[in-house]
Amino acid sequence: RWLPDEKFALGIWGPSGTFKTVCATYAMGFWGKEYLHGPMLKAGRNGSTINAQMDIFKAAGFLPQLYDNLKSVDKRDIQAYVSMIHGVMEGREKARSDREGNARETIAFHSTPIITGEVAPSESSTSARVLGLSWTLNREEMKHASEMAEELRQVRDHLPYVGWHWIKFLHETEEVLGKEYHEYRNVISEKFAQRGFSNTGRLASKFAMLKSIWA
């Protein structure tokens, strides 16, 4: 609503069996019980088609959407992933014609993709759009994660109340990410450039966005 052009995705990269999808699914539960049934979008040859992915990301509105179990070993899977990320990040579907040859109405993307997988694909323009989390757990952390997952399972029906209060707060707050956000992003972008980072604009946008949301 405030910064429609400041888009990014979240990537959760780590070994299989480390509760990546479980954690992401419970986080999605803040937005409604239906999300707790599991990811609607699956990567891979037996997963969702590009058209289905685009339709689901459009239908999600401003809510996030989970894209699960990306494998980095199949080139076709990577191509589909890259196409999806660029499509959603560009903010609007490409122009298409209907059966009569007339231009169809294009729909804006506002959703934030959340991707889970073992290894982040090494495609620079996509990586700049995806905030990557390195998800590794030792034995003690795995035990703790298992206990936390069970605790969340017992209160899962209450999770949507959290999302309701968050949306209510955003609707009523007078705080707006405006002039100060852009000034802060420019300062961070310059710092990243001095350190020799590439794509400093996108990196600074993600950094400033997360800091602003947290504040």
Residue 126 is predicted with a pLDDT of 83
Look at residue 74 and tell me whether its pLDDT is greater than 80: no
Q: What is the pTM of this model?
A: 0.83
Residue 206 is predicted with a pLDDT of 87
DSSP collapsed to 3 states, the chain: CCCCCCCCEEEEECCCCCCHHHHHHHHHHHHCHHHHHCCCEECCCCCCCHHHHHHHHHHCCCCCEEEEEECCCCHHHHHHHHHHHHHHHCCECCCCECCCCCECCCCECCCCEEEEECCCCCCHHHHCCEEEEECCCCHHHHHHHHHHHHHHHHHHHHHHHHHHHHHHHHHHCCCCCCHHHHHHHHHHHHHHHHCCCCCHHHHHHHHHHHHHHHC
Q: What is the pLDDT of residues 162-198, one digit of tens each?
A: 999 988 998 898 877 778 889 999 999 999 999 998 8
pLDDT above 70: percentage of residues in the chain: 91
Tokens 């323009």 belong to: 125
pLDDT above 90: percentage of residues in the chain: 38
Q: What does the CA dihedral 38, 44, 45, 50 come to, rounded to 10 degrees?
A: 80
